[in-house]
Amino acid sequence: MTGAPTTTPHRATSHAAGAYVVGRSLLHRAPAGPKLAALMLCSLALLLVRSPAGVGTATLVVTGLYALAGLGPRAAWGQVRPLRMFLPVVFALQWWLMDLTSAAVLSTRLVVLVALAGLVTCTTRVSDLLAAIERGLSPLARVGVDVERIALVLALALRSVPVIADLAGRVRDAQRARGRERDVRAFAVPLVVGSMRQADALGEALRARGFDD
């Protein structure tokens, strides 16, 4: 007789972009509100970084945060993987418009920003994100703003962007495997169809919960 398989809470079977990874680390236990506030502040600070030393330090800090959360290189790669389609274009454009150093700094900064946002979604449940956003926007309810609906939209946007980017990466991989890397239609059609399926599934889930108006 085979016993039930054991699972390790802090390990994940999937490291898809934007997916929550079960864990018991300090970052997992931290409240969603402070994590979102820290993400906003760190993102603003990163946008001001212009030197290779600055982005190098930021990279080391984010790497350390992933380690603190019990997430390895595979988890980090899962968050930034969708950028592999766009990053070479961004790098080449910046190199052409400015110089090699500026291109490297901007590209690295973009990777760090995405990795940092991914770390928040990896260590925070959607329900907690939603509740934190609602609390942050609660003063607006006094002037008649539907805070719950706005919070839902923001939470969905936070999770949907990396999901769609990951879908685009998988479509690009399939396109490359078929030897059709330069075929725009072979990339756009599956991406649009897949995105519409995601939207339909999300719409059904929202309607089932009463968000149908």
User: How confident is the model over 115-129, as pLDDT tens digits?
Assistant: 998 899 889 887 888
Q: Tell me how far apart the alpha carbons of residues 121 and 53 are, in angstroms, rounded to a whole number.
A: 27
Contacts of 61 (CB under 8 A, 6+ apart): none
Residue 209 pLDDT exceeds 80: no
Task: Tell me the pLDDT tens digit for each residue of 66-92.
Answer: 999 998 888 888 888 878 777 888 899
pTM, full prediction: 0.68
Of 65, 60, 114, 69, the residue nearest 87 (C-alpha): 114
Residue 58 pLDDT exceeds 70: yes
For the chain, domain boundaries:
13-124, 125-213
Does residue 105 contact residue 52 with C-beta atoms inside 8 Å? yes
- H helices then E strands: how many in the chain? 9, 0
Residue 29 pLDDT exceeds 60: yes
Confidence bin at 8 (pLDDT 50/70/90): very low
